[in-house]
């Protein structure tokens, strides 16, 4: 008798292999950093290999005389098997094609970054070491401000930060915001932090979402009716998007 291809096994194999490959592809292409905190990359990579392994194991049963049909019995199906398989397959194919992109200025504005009240939602439960002003990253500055919010305390301190550009619509044309998203676990909990920059010229020179590195000194200005810490730049450079767009 001619052996028939056991289609359910074929679909299982494909779904497992493609899911595994989807995870591994983000790792190979360096896009994992857009989705996850670097501490947890190994988990996703490990899961990718396990899924590929399971896919291969499932694939091998295709070439056996009778496909394995062991059923431990205690399982109650919730979704029809074909539905689940199709959902998994569709997402794996999509994930293999789509290139995830880091959040941009529009997302930051939608989350109310221009509002000085919501500086950060993190509740620090450890003492951060004191970093010299010139070495502080954006999130270091915001955390420092959270502890002691009076802007005058930082006047003339040197600043050197890198981030993407936001043009808050309610600000004058010579102000922009240099911002970054902060991650604790994965992109799902990313929240934006940023500092205003007082340019000497017009902000159109630095379009939204372009990456800049700003060196200068801190000063206090009244922006949108609020006294705020603002960077008075000596130099603003356009830089390429870093490999890891988030801060932690």
Partner 1 sequence: MSQLNQGLTLFLSLLVEATPFLLLGVAFSSLLAVLVDERKLIAYTPKNPVLAAISGSLFGCLFPVCECGNVPVARRLLMQGAPSALAIGFLLAAPTVNPIVFWATWVAFRDQPAMVFWRVGLTILISVTIACVFSVQKDMRPFLQPAIARYLPNPDPKPEPALVGSGSSLLSGGDFLLQSTGTLKLDQPMMATLGATTALPQQSWHDKAQAVLEMMLQEFRELGAVLVFGSAIAATVQVAIPREWILALGQGPITSILAMMLLAWVVSICSTVDSFFALSFSSLFTSGSILAFLVFGPMIDLKNISLLLTTFKGRAVMYLFVLAAQLTFVLTLAVNSYTSW
For partner 1, the binding residues in 6-25 under the rule CB under 8 A are 12, 15-16, 19, 23
Distance CA 94, CA 15 (A): 12
Binding region for partner 1 (CB under 8 A) out of 43-51, 144-152, 210-218, 231-239: 43-51
First vs last C-alpha separation in the chain = 62
Number of other CB atoms surrounding residue 124 within 10 Å: 10
**57 scored as a contact of partner 1 (CB under 8 A):** yes
Distance CA 195, CA 85 (A): 47
Here's the x/- map for partner 1, 185-204, by CB under 8 A: it reads as xxxxx-x-------------
Distance CA 37, CA 87 (A): 26
Q: Which of 34, 145, 229, 230 binds partner 1 (CB under 8 A)?
A: 34
Find all residues with CB under 8 Å of 104, minimum gap 6, and list them. 164, 208, 209
**107 scored as a contact of partner 1 (CB under 8 A):** yes
Q: Which of 10, 43, 128, 237 binds partner 1 (CB under 8 A)?
A: 43
Element holding 246 (H helix, E strand):
strand 246-247
Binding region for partner 1 (CB under 8 A) out of 40-48, 128-136, 143-151, 214-222: 40-48
Here's the x/- map for partner 1, 202-221, by CB under 8 A: it reads as --------------------
Q: How far is the CB of 7 from partner 1 (least distance, A)?
A: 15
């Amino acid at each position: 008798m001619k052996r028939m291809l056991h289609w359910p096994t074929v679909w299982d194999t494909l779904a497992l292999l493609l899911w595994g490959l989807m995870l591994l592809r983000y790792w190979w292409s360096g896009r994992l950093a857009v989705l996850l905190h670097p501490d947890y990359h190994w988990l996703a990579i490990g899961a990718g290999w396990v899924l590929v392994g399971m896919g291969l194991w499932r694939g091998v049963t295709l070439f056996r005389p009778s496909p394995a049909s062991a059923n431990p019995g205690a399982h109650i199906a919730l979704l029809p098997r074909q539905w689940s398989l199709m959902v998994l397959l569709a997402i794996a194919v999509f994930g293999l094609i789509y290139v995830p992109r880091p959040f941009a200025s529009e997302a930051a504005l939608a989350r109310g970054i221009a509002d000085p009240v919501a500086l950060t939602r993190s509740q620090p439960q450890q003492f951060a070491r004191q970093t010299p002003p010139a070495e502080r990253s954006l999130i270091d500055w915001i955390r420092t401000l959270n502890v002691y919010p009076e802007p005058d305390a930082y006047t003339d301190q040197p600043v050197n930060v890198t981030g993407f550009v936001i043009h808050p619509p309610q600000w004058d044309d010579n102000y922009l915001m240099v911002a970054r998203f902060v991650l604790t676990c994965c992109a799902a909990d990313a929240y934006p932090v940023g500092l205003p920059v007082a340019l000497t010229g017009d902000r159109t020179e630095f379009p939204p979402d372009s990456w800049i590195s700003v060196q200068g000194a801190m000063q206090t200005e009244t922006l949108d009716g609020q006294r705020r810490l603002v960077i008075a730049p000596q130099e603003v450079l356009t830089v390429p998007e870093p490999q890891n767009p988030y801060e932690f």
